[in-house]
Amino acid sequence: MKIGIIGAGDVGGTLGKRWRQKGHEIMFGVRNLQSPKVQKLVQMDQNFKVGDISEAAAFGEVIVLAIPWTSVEETILNSGNLSGKILIDPTNPLTPDLKGLALHDTSVAEKIAKLANSTRVVKAFNAIGARTLDNSVFDSQRADLFICGDDRHAKEVVEELANDIGFDVVDIGPLVNARKLEQLALLWIELAFKQQMGPNIAFKLLKRKDDF
């Protein structure tokens, strides 16, 4: 699958590396092609493609917006035609002190859907750390990835991509529930940093088989 990743930071870079290992084609879309982060990725794997934001958006069947949430509007405007693309939103609208969310009565994912005029937005990869993206297995258990969106096929594609890199997927419903996933990210931050559990943690939903 062709995947365009906007941004080359910890989240975007790690997802690109993991998916490349599974045989997917990756193109990073960045503002500065000569930045140290971009050069590090290229040195890691010569098969990585790098271009500007519109080039990566045109390249990918799936687009990952691995950018600060405040850059979302500008990025969508610079991405060109996103018709038919599956857009993955791993961002969180955190306040500068990391104590709350800057958006109320909406979510970044819903804003992306509106800006891009798209029903194929999937919230995913927002309530975990980059270390877990790189290694999703804890002892014998795979970490859960919570996703939501309004398009069934788009969610199936994201689930397949998540399974590829070792996650079990929990679909929590329509895109409006991205508000709940952004709150879940706050809990992850609280546990990882304020409660000093460290970033090597993840969530797991447990179910009894005999209840169904």
Listed in sequence order, the residues at least 6 apart from 126 whose beta carbon sits closer than 8 Å to its beta carbon are 89, 90, 91, 92, 181, 182, 184, 185
- Environment class of residue 14 by beta-carbon count within 10 Å: exposed (0-12), middle (13-18) or buried (19+)? buried
What tens digit of pLDDT does each residue of 48-69 get? 889 999 999 999 999 999 999 9
Greatest distance between any 2 Cα atoms in the chain: 55
Q: H helices then E strands: how many in the chain?
A: 8, 10
Q: What is the pLDDT of residue 209?
A: 81
Domain of 113 in residue numbering reads as: 2-211
Residues 74-95, mean pLDDT to the nearest whole number: 95
What tens digit of pLDDT does each residue of 140-192 get? 899 999 999 999 999 999 999 999 999 999 999 999 999 999 999 999 999 99
What percent of the chain has a predicted confidence (pLDDT) above 70? 99
Say how far apart CA 169 and CA 124 lie, in whole Å: 10
Domain count, the chain: 1
CATH number at residue 72: 3.40.50.720
Model-wide pTM > 0.75: yes
